[in-house]
């Protein structure tokens, strides 16, 4: 195993994987310590699912996703700046207060701008619901599969934040790898009737889950609930949106 990791390509991938794990752990740490960020992550989950339910166009959905990410990024920069200011000085300082206020103001500006844009895009759709002109839209299997993975990853981060244990990509309850693997397998079930492909997909998902146990990264409970979460969320999304 060590010799394999010494290969240039695998070494680069290993370093990228570790950097990604640390970056997502930063999101978890911010969500643990910053109540507003946890709210923004929950809001992002709800907004994206709501927009998917409304059947927005690709451009509309992309704009909503972009402004949602903008607010989250602004909140994270605000949290990072507050931590840096607190580290640099423990004494009361007018400059420190000014820096924190400006960062908080940036979050407020991004939030207000996002609300205005969301109103302009979602307003006509919400008005249609109010007038009884709403029906659940049908989406492609690819779009549902991508949404399922995004939803599952947000849920994994929030759950791990709540339990306060493990990294998003390495350990903790539930297993994000197992959730993603079984989510993709459920997606595969809806796009093909080939029993060989279905069997291979299931074995691949099972291998991912078993490998997390073999490496002692996760417990059986972590893997089981991760697989259950990924399967259940994806199955519900396909049942609702894949007509």
Q: How far apart are CA 119 and CA 126, in angstroms?
A: 9
Active-site entry in 18, 60, 75, 91: 75
Structure tokens at 133: 């002109």
Active site residue 75: yes
Report CA 175 to chain centroid distance, whole Å. Answer: 14
- Which spans in 89-175 are helix H? 94-130, 141-163
Cα dihedral sign for 170, 19, 38, 236?
negative
Place of tokens 């417990």: 219
- The set of catalytic residues is 75
């Amino acid at each position: 195993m060590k010799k394999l990791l010494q290969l240039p390509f695998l070494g680069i991938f290993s370093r990228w994987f570790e950097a990604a794990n640390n970056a997502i752990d930063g999101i978890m740490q911010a969500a643990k310590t910053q109540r507003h960020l946890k709210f923004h992550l929950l809001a992002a989950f709800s907004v994206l699912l709501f927009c998917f339910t409304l059947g927005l166009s690709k451009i509309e959905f992309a704009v909503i996703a972009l402004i949602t990410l903008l607010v989250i990024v602004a909140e994270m920069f605000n949290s990072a700046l507050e931590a840096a200011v607190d580290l640099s000085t423990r004494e009361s300082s007018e400059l420190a207060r000014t820096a924190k206020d400006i960062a908080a103001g940036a979050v407020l500006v991004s939030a207000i701008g996002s609300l205005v844009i969301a109103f302009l895009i979602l307003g006509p759709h919400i008005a249609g619901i109010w007038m009884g002109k709403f029906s659940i839209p049908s989406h492609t299997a690819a779009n549902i599969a991508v949404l399922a993975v995004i939803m599952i990853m947000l849920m994994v981060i929030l759950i791990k934040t709540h339990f306060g244990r493990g990294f998003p990509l390495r350990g903790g309850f539930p297993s994000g790898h197992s959730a993603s693997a079984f989510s993709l397998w459920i997606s595969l079930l809806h796009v093909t009737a080939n029993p060989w492909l279905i069997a291979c997909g299931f074995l691949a998902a099972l291998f991912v889950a078993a490998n997390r146990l073999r490496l002692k990264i996760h417990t059986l409970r972590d893997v089981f609930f991760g697989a259950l979460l990924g399967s259940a969320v994806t199955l519900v999304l396909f049942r609702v949106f894949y007509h």
